[in-house]
Amino acid sequence: MKRIYILLLFVMMAWGFNVAAIKVLVANIDPILLTSVRIFAAGLGVLGILYFMKILRLPTKKELLMIFYISIFNVVAHHGFMALGLTLTSGVNAGLIVGLGPLLTMILSTLMLSRHITVFKAFGFFLGFAGVMLTTLIGSGGIASVSIGDLYIFLSIATQAFSFILISKLNPDLDPRLLTGYMMVGGSCVIFLAGLSLESNPAQILKLWDPKLGLIFLFSAFICTAFGHMVYNFAIKQVGPAESAIFINFNSFFALLGSALFLDEVIEWFHVAGLVLIVSGVLIGTGTVDYLIRRRKARSNAA
């Protein structure tokens, strides 16, 4: 079990640092074009691994429609808004907003899956929302100057959370690792066509031959996106969704650390305060704290 926890921590570190990696890449290459190539490479990486694991199979016609439907939100909107947002806001702000993912998933599951929301969870939502507001409003100088990039990052996380609800409602029989790979490949093709319609110059991708940009691209596509999602899908089955929420909180921490280390961005007091509020909100809002308290009581009673 300790190995699973170590792997989860590694994935969160990779995902956090990926915010800085994408920000560097989109500063040199059109974000839509870059996203399509990065996700396509990650999807091929996932399918290649599954082939050697003897899990790979072709989806049915019904599964193809479901893959396309979910990938519009999970891949196209999520990664598209993320890439655009990082061209217009700081890595620090993006990292903090990303931390709202589990909380948004909880809220949408309450609204769309008719799950009961407790006062405890509502308080968690309030803390998380306050953390984002503290970061974006104070950091930008007021509500009138909130970056459109911050809004794009929020939409990125919101569409991803919505896709998780879709997966839950549709309850696909397809292995989640296969679903991930096919969604990445299919979704990246949609993003690429959208980029061409916006007159994106495909020749920009040749910039990835630069050793520095090339290494960053490989790290983002294969380590963070392909390997990271596969490990996470495997690990969440081992430790359960409640405990995995604890590790997701490290995502924002490593995003802040990566922004400071690799982008030379300054972490202010309101960033730290926002991080504390978001982490507290996620832990409370997703029921993780309540779950851990009940589990400790159960162990005490058993002893």
What are the boundaries of each domain within the chain?
Answer: 2-302
Residue 287 CB partners (closer than 8 Å, separation 6+): 106, 120, 121, 242
pTM: predicted TM-score of the whole model, two decimal places: 0.78
d(CA 1, CA 295): 17
Q: In this predicted structure, what is the pLDDT of residue 152?
A: 93
Looking at per-residue confidence, does 199 or 221 come out higher?
A: 221
Q: 179 near 59, Cβ under 8 Å?
A: no
Position 22 pLDDT exceeds 80: yes
Rank 75-84, 244-253, 256-265, 285-294 by mean pLDDT and report only the highest: 75-84
Please state the rounded mean pLDDT for residues 61-85: 90
Using alpha carbons, select from 236, 248, 232 the residue that is nearest to residue 282.
248
Structure-derived torsion over alpha carbons of residues 242, 243, 246, 251, reported in degrees to the nearest 10: -90
Model confidence at 143, pLDDT cuts 50, 70, 90, reads: very low
Using alpha carbons, select from 226, 213, 278 the residue that is nearest to residue 252.
278
Q: Give the DSSP letter of residue 165.
A: H
Residue 175 CB partners (closer than 8 Å, separation 6+): 55
Model pLDDT for residues 238-270, shown as the tens digit of each residue = 665 545 555 666 777 788 888 888 888 877 787
Neighbouring CB atoms inside 10 A of 21's CB total 25
What burial class does residue 6 get, using C-beta atoms within 10 Å of its C-beta: 0-12 exposed, 13-18 middle, 19+ buried? exposed
Position 13 pLDDT exceeds 80: yes
Q: 187 near 39, Cβ under 8 Å?
A: yes
